[in-house]
Structure 1
Amino acid sequence: MFRSFYFIYRRMKTDLQGSSDGCLVCRSGPSGPLQVQLGDSVLLPCSIRTPVPLEELEVEWRRSDSETLVLLFQDGEERGEEPKFRNRAHFFTEEISRGNFSLFLTDVTPADAGTYRCSVHTEKESGDTTALISVVRLVVSGGARAVSAGLGEDVILSCSVDSSEQIEEVVWKTDQDIIVLQYKDGEVLPDSSHERYRGRAEFFPAEIHKGNFSLRLKEVRTEDKGDFMCEVHTSLLSASTTVLLEDLGLSLLHVLILLLCIIAALLALSLSSFMCLKMRG
């Protein structure tokens, strides 16, 4: 991930060299909110056109809503005063001498959402720019990784979704990438199912608005054994969970029938033996 942000810096440097607005503090990158998933990292851009001696430079990153100091560069050193940002907020030290004071924030939490201001002060002038972080969330979880079912029985494969964004698509697939059932743009699409699962796979419609996209698979067959993946997509994020369907043995009904057949056979054999003995006597 660190290397990917290095390439972002290279693009930012090129953008600034080609700019002609004469600003002290220049901002490159998206003009809208920076969409970040929980636990990920984010780069907040802040640069000056012409580098200045480090001893003449002071750079502050603060939360605009609370004036909390996130990170400070002063007297040639980086300092962080706020405990909740300690070890999470960083400059790229090798870039400071080139006029790049972008903030790299790691392990983003819900509390990190908000507006951040980069203020740059030199002996001759000052300037600032802002960046907005919007924290998004998509967590997809299942139950136990392995579930069991008897042949001919129904089984439920769990998939629960917790998302801050609107869910655009949920698709259940097998490990052969065969579609079992699909939900898209607010509708269940039973015709999307492969013929092997058509009429046997269903969601729980009353539970969908709660983020429950568990799958009921009816009349389990031997060929159903294997991994099933629940893939969830929003406009920004994708995530998935996998459930293993195993132990496709005889169902309880089949076992009971088999036992009854064995008992009936034993009774018939006993009765036959009894009749034979009686006839001999």
Structure 2
Amino acid sequence: MSNNVYLIKLVSIGSSPLSVVVHTLSRVGLPAVLPCSVASHLDHRPHIQWQTISDSVFERMGQEQFQGEAYRDRADVPEELLVRGNCSLFLQDVRFSDAGIYESYLVVGESSIKNRILIQSVHLAVIDHKDIKSVQTGAELILDLHTHQAEQVIFQNSNETDWTVLWEKDAVINKKDYLEKRDNKLILSNVTARSAGTYKVLDSEGLALSTVKATVTVELLILCLMKAQSKLHFLS
């Protein structure tokens, strides 16, 4: 535990009647909770393991813990919940690569040969964010990057087929628009009619973390034109 290596033979001896697969869903970048419960009276320091088919995710026995490499600083089974029988896995900043089947085990035994009892199987699905925004000309368009996984924002004008790189992490690519990154959001100031279109936030693999369809309204401009035309008509 605590990332130390233990030479322990683990033998799976059976499954809990609760081990039917539970399905849960999270949007990328948000926290996710994979449910699990174990009889709290079995041990005041239950030894719990979470794993996927290919990776160790998290392991806890009392204050000792181990996090898998892909889940470093993102996975936890809080000790204060575990002693009350709640062995749920808490994942932070969920990634697309986190999707799949997770299994929780209760590890029992006092010798070098320990047995594992399957407690729960959980299927985690991870989906992207989708949004529709409408702003007026001259206003701000706020794009939520959602997560530090965001590497790039691309834009497709409503009347065009090509995509333009609007923003990249640590660099402003398109200087025609005023861009500002603030609190994990991208702010486009003084939008125009040409700001209408589709915005995609991409991760390092080019996968869309979010898609935003933006429309730009020009009611104020139309109102001014109508008033001007009305005034000209009155004067004539």
Relative to the length of structure 2, the TM-score reads 0.48
Q: Which has the higher contact order (CA 8 A, sep 6+)?
A: 2
Computing the radius of gyration over CA atoms, which structure comes out larger, 1 or 2?
1
Structure having the larger proportion of residues in strand: 2
